[in-house]
Amino acid sequence: MKKIALVTGASSGIGLDTCLRLIQKGYTVYGAARRTELMKEIEENGGTALHLDLFNENSIKNCVDTILSKEGKIDLLVNNAGFGLGGSIEDIPLEEARKQFEVNVFALASLIQKVLPSMREQRSGRIINISSIAGRFSTPFTGWYHGTKYCVEALSDALRLEVKPFGIKVVLIEPGMIQTDWGVIHGNNIRKYSGNTAYKTNANLVADYYEARYVKNKNLSPASVIAKQIVKASEAKHPKRRYIAGTLAKPYVFFKWLLSDKLFDKATMTFMHLSNKD
């Protein structure tokens, strides 16, 4: 019997690549995103594109119910959708910060809550949450985004223990720098919210940092690197609790583990060429 997979954020990048690889592995794949017209490749390869608006609870419910009514189960949930909000903690309006948490944390949790009953009933299933190395440490002008990824890490660790008696496995994937538009969008957001405020000196330096790495640096890992890890975690009989991959992922995490907070702060300031003056 084929396994049924739901992958969010499936219209591009990691999500799209993951859907195609799971189809090749024999899964019945449902790719979900707001823009279904961007998921034609999934349907051309035998998958199904579903509309999913993570700001809308009814949309989340309809997405899961559609699969359950047709297939009777969901064996694999890949929570890949999310976005990054750049700017200082002070400058970003709380309304925007709440939207960041709504998508990256609460929508993810809502999907988990809606697939768990069927997984518990069949006493099997796998939930793969795409976190980030941003869930292991924090950098300036990315605080709200880091906050959501810390939440995903904590929720996943707790959930893993809660559902273990039901035969359900929970896995975290922690990407480093990947070839996407994330850094460009992030840099633009930092300039938008903090580029002309009291934080402008370092805000613009951080924006420069991300843009330099995502626009000029061609050595970032392709989305396929993470998609392969997701498929590996999906297929493994005994998956690791965390998979870390992508450019600079392991060095960043290692130095966070190695250095004191004081030294890590200093290293971050130096590495990002930040100023101690306003």
Set 27, 145, 210, 214: catalytic member: 145
Residue 31 near residue 49, CB atoms below 8 Å: yes
- Specify the residue for token string 């959501």: 148
Q: Which of 34, 201, 170 is nearest to 103 (CA)?
A: 34
The CA distance from 80 to 92, in Å, is 24
Which SS3 state, helix, strand or coil, does residue 130 take?
A: strand
Our answer to whether residue 145 is catalytic in this structure is yes
The answer to whether 78 and 130 are in contact (CB under 8 A) is yes
Number of C-alpha atoms within 13 angstroms, CB side, residue 11? 14
CA 217 to chain centre: 22
Residues annotated as catalytic (active site), given as ranges: 145
